[in-house]
Structure 1
């Protein structure tokens, strides 16, 4: 006798949303604290994500149009990442010249929106007759642009603030 899967119910959506809200609440609370900013380590996340995006593109190379869309998404992501980087507060201790940062809730909300868009696109893309591979490539390039430009903006601003504090 075949076993039939239960139709998707409210719990299929409620449990991940509840987990997400709990994590978001914990993360949002931590954002209000100043944390050390290690300028020399800002390159790590973009480098790791570049490797992830390279693997995505290697395993399923985009078409010529897909490369164009991914390049445009990278530029849009860079512009959004620059703005996201500007929302991060950077403080320099006047005596020790130690750099500290405080993220904003807007910066976290921005990433949450990107993750939600990606999740919905992956889940509903085929049903809406989107080319899911192009959509994933586009969102990967957009996210890479966000991470890289955000950290570049923070690096440049932190170095400028540190130079001003030392002067």
Structure 2
């Protein structure tokens, strides 16, 4: 069975947007940007609210909960690794923190996006999951990824900052 032309157009537009976003992000890779420890909690808090609101209004059912927990755990493992890939530095004079994203961290996100697109194209049919269960799992994966990445970065930055400040 041949894919419909409008489906191919949808995939082409999606691929184009992803490539554009990745190209823009790639240009910024390697540049140091200020890291504010007191702001690392904001994105995980927003994502937590989104996950709670989503699961409160339309909770997963049956094995969907198990798959969401597995996805969150996988996301946490990937997020921790992505956080470790971020270079964090402390200015010795001002004690200001900066972070530099790694090209490997960007490739990791690109791989997740590609996997998501593959699952969307029918790769999750063998799991007998509907689109809603798949979106719940992807939300859980994103939640685990963002929270673990920020926690790892916070702990490491705080440790580096304490080591840089003379006592």
Q: TM-score band, normalised by the shorter chain?
A: 0.7 to 0.9
Task: Identify the residue that residue 59 of structure 1 maps to in structure 2.
Answer: 57
**What's the TM-score, normalizing by structure 1?**
0.86
Larger radius of gyration: 1
Separation (CA, whole Å) in 2 of partners of 1:101 and 1:25: 19
Change (3 A) 1:135 1:158: same
Identify which range, 37-46 or 50-59, moves more after superposition: 50-59
Measured in 2, the distance between the counterparts of 1:88 and 1:97 equals: 18
The structural deviation recorded for 1:22 is: 2.2
Residue ranges of structure 2 left out of the alignment (5+ in a row): none
Task: Give me the TM-score of the superposition, normalised by structure 2.
Answer: 0.86
**Which residue of structure 2 aligns with residue 133 of structure 1?**
132
Alpha-carbon distance in 2 for matches of 1:58, 1:74: 17
2:22 is matched with 24
Aligned to 1:95: 93
Q: Structure 2 vs 1, CA of residues 15 and 134 (structure 1 numbering), >3 Å: closer, same or farther?
A: closer
1:96 CA drift (Å) = 0.3
Specify every segment of 5 or more residues in structure 1 that has no aligned partner in the other structure, as ranges.
Answer: 1-5
SS at match of 1:90: strand
2:5 to 4, 7, 18: 7
User: Number of paired residues?
Assistant: 162
TM alignment of 1:1-167, pairs within 5 A? 7-8=5-6, 10-124=8-122, 130-167=129-166
Residue 89 of structure 2: SS of its match in structure 1? strand
In 2, the alpha carbon distance for the partners of 1:14 and 1:51 equals 32
